Amino acid sequence: MDSVSASRIVLFPFMSKGHIIPFLQLARLLLHRGITVTIFTTPANSPFIRHSLADTDASVVDLPFPQNVPGLPAGVESTDRLPSMSLFLPLVNATKLIQPDFEHALQNLSGVSCLVSDGFLGWTQKSAEKLGIPRLVLFGMSNYSATVSRVVVLDRPHVDLDSDDEPFEVPSFEWIKLTRNDFESPFKDPEPKGPLFEFIIEQGIATSKSQGLVVNSFYELEPLFLEYWNREFDPKAWCVGPLCMAEPPRVEPLMKPIWVQWLDTKLAEGGTVIYVAFGSQAEISSEQLQEIAIGLEKSEVNFLWVVRSKGLEALEGFEERVKGRGVVVKEWVEQREILDHESVIGFMSHCGWNSVLESICACVPILAWPMMAEQHLNARMVAEELGVGLRILAESGSVRGFVKWENIEKMVRELMEGGKGKEVRKKVKEIGEAARRAMEEGGSS
């Protein structure tokens, strides 16, 4: 215990909310064990981190973010502030220029026993090696998604198919049927190449040279995928989650946000609510926003919709029409507070991994509508592997493409009132309980 209490762990998340949040939760977990925690970040991301950890002893080091990066607007240091996600590569590649400052700051810290680096900051591997500090990697993905994508990239069962919607079996996991549309480029491409592919390979190499993977998940959720990874691939993965459970119970603020007050009212009336949100960085067309609005309106269920996409003018007049039954929020919300609210019994979600875990921990079933990254795999996992949610599909049956309001209305009703909704609600309660046990003293995580 002495060696643990003397040690310092440095955490370095990538600059996006979906990456920073699990790192902040990991920080709490480590602090709770008596470990000294230092978080590295950049000036524009620092206030969010400092505010979130204000009640803890964690220290935060700001490293200057590179200036005048071609393509990046000045002052933009995180994905949620990018004008478009097509600028992801310039942003992530710019972080490489932080390396000299990073090494200098790391050298100046005493007693560093380990670095937990974001998987997207592969360049930290060379620094860690140079300074003789073990590096663990946190990607913020499930074992299911990490394992299945690795198997597909290596075995290429998706290459000789007629269309992006034709199902194929995943080798070693034959019950899983995927389509090329479950992957983004370059993973879906028969001959992957280009800068994004090179970036992914670089991160893969850096990860394999590291001492381990820290996974925001728990053993009981996906034992087959964790065991497969640890048998076939490197480095070894350790489940330490769900990390959202490391956060302290929320203290009720004196002034609750107006949307939480609205949820209180719905609860007092005996009403139930579906929470609709697509994470911190989804890009949704104004046509699709409008279709979601019509679907929600026609479904006649109560809803709380958090939407910060461009094209909000598509919703003009909508709020007035659904007054009393629906609320549209355009600000940052405390998602866990909403999911934990007793009135919320369904979550229409893009299936970002944090959102999936938060929903499971709140025992709220998911209406899965993935948008990008590995969210399509998470959605498969939610609906087909775990049975804690239902799926929204395009009219063609494809996992990508425009979704008509009729389908949105039907699936919202099914989740909130239907027989299948009942089944997944029962299942998510069981798995939510298992999550709680995994994080208890002596639990698997």
- Residue 332 contacts ligand UDP per CB under 6 A: yes
Q: How far apart are CA 69 and CA 281, in angstroms?
A: 21
Give the total of residues touching ligand UDP (CB under 6 A): 17
Which one among 149, 281, 302, 445 touches ligand UDP, defined by CB under 6 A? 281
Residue nearer to ligand UDP on the CB measure, 318 or 353: 353
Q: How far apart are CA 150 and CA 142, in angstroms?
A: 12
DSSP β-bridge partners for residue 135: 115
- Residue 25 contacts ligand UDP per CB under 6 A: no
Burial class of residue 362 (count of CB atoms within 10 Å of its CB; 0-12, 13-18, 19+): buried
> In Å, how far from its chain's centre is CA 321?
32
- Residue 352 contacts ligand UDP per CB under 6 A: yes
DSSP β-bridge partners for residue 306: 277, 329
Residue nearer to ligand UDP on the CB measure, 114 or 141: 141
Radius of gyration, alpha carbons of the chain: 22
DSSP notation for 141-172: --HHHHHHHHHHHHH-TTSS-SSTT--EEETT
List CB contacts of 269: < 8 A, sequence separation 6 or more: none
Which one among 182, 222, 358, 414 touches ligand UDP, defined by CB under 6 A? 358
DSSP notation for 326-356: EEEE-S---HHHHHHSTTEEEEEE---HHHH
Residue nearer to ligand UDP on the CB measure, 186 or 279: 279
Report, in Å, the least distance between residue 7 CB and ligand UDP: 27
The stretch among 159-167, 186-194, 274-282, 379-387 that binds ligand UDP (CB under 6 A) is 274-282
For ligand UDP, the nearest residue by Cβ is 18
- Residue 380 contacts ligand UDP per CB under 6 A: no
Q: How far apart are CA 436 and CA 433, in angstroms?
A: 5
Residue nearer to ligand UDP on the CB measure, 262 or 353: 353
Question: Nearest CA to 366 among 288, 312, 294, 432?
Answer: 432
The stretch among 53-61, 283-291, 352-360, 413-421 that binds ligand UDP (CB under 6 A) is 352-360
Taking residues 227 to 266 in sequence order and writing x for each that binds ligand UDP by CB under 6 A, - otherwise, the string is: ----------------------------------------
Query: How do strand 168-170 and strand 135-138 relate by DSSP bridges?
Result: unpaired
Which one among 9, 13, 15, 18 touches ligand UDP, defined by CB under 6 A? 18
Residues that bind ligand UDP (CB under 6 A): 17-18, 21, 279-281, 306, 332-336, 352-355, 358
